[in-house]
Amino acid sequence: MTKIILSAMMVFTMTIANAQSKKEQIENLTFSLDSLNQLVAVERQNFITTLDSLNQLLSKNKQDFELEMDKSSITIENLNSQLIRLYSINDSINIELITKDQKIDSLTLKNLRLLADIDSLSNPKIDKENNWILIESNLKWIEKDYSTTIQWLNNNIFDEGSEIQTTRQDIYTPTCYSYVMDAMDYYWGYPGSIEEDEFKSKWNSMFDLKYSSFGHAFQNGNCGWASFKLENIEFLGSLNDGDWCKLTILGGCGENDYSQTLVRVVKIIEENGSFRIANFISLRDE
């Protein structure tokens, strides 16, 4: 009987101990699970923070990239449009661009004639001024005050108070004055005047002789105009360090007779604070 009781007590004691052990295990597992959940939550927050930082960095880099591309595009478009306008041809420009540094890696032009000095975009130049079509196609409009030039033309083309305008030497460069006098001499063709071969040999490389037919620089030469006036002065553009203007001149043989119209194109340069005509083209002389 005693053994039975002892055995029963041992079983009961083991049952209680086993129950306590399982409870502790559950508590330990619960604690571990809570710790794991906290760790997962912390890691998730860290991941979200890192992801937000990466998104912000990516967005900033994207904006910087788009801004650099816009700047580069504007630079290339301006260069392309100026070159096309300068030469009036439709050549293509192939450009490889390093966007980040805004550097032009290579510039390939189909026509080697477009490899001009960039300074020529602000100061257009041609080798010779003996072709009006070439001159006209290369004139560039430059924004500046031309009132002084226009005033000088108004004051010097005709001698004030004179019924007959004389060809004043002081309003021309020496070379242009010599050309104008020879052109007038050749136009009249009186005995002893300059011959055609000499005229062409002397001036063909410097002036457009196709537009040199005039009997007088600023009159038609058929009579001593009794009436004359500058009807209009139009600025055409700049070329070869000079301003080119078109003059429309009205006049006639009788008083208050403005029935005849002359059109002259002149190149005006400034030397030592004064103006001079450096080129002279007669577009209409009738």
Sign of torsion, CA 132 234 199 223? positive
| Residue-level pLDDT at 61 | 67
Averaged over successive runs of 10 residues, the pLDDT of the chain (286 residues) comes to 52 52 71 70 76 74 64 53 50 41 44 46 83 96 87 82 66 96 93 94 97 89 83 94 95 90 95 91 89
Please state, in angstroms and rounded to a whole number, the distance separating the CA atoms of residues 72 and 279. 41
| Residue-level pLDDT at 285 | 82
- Sequence-separated (6 or more) residues with CB below 8 Å from residue 163: 224, 225, 226
Question: Which phi and psi (to 5°) does residue 182 adopt?
Answer: -65, -40
Q: How far apart are the first and last CA of the chain?
A: 157
| Residue-level pLDDT at 241 | 93
For the full predicted model, state whether its pTM sits above 0.85: no
| Residue-level pLDDT at 267 | 97
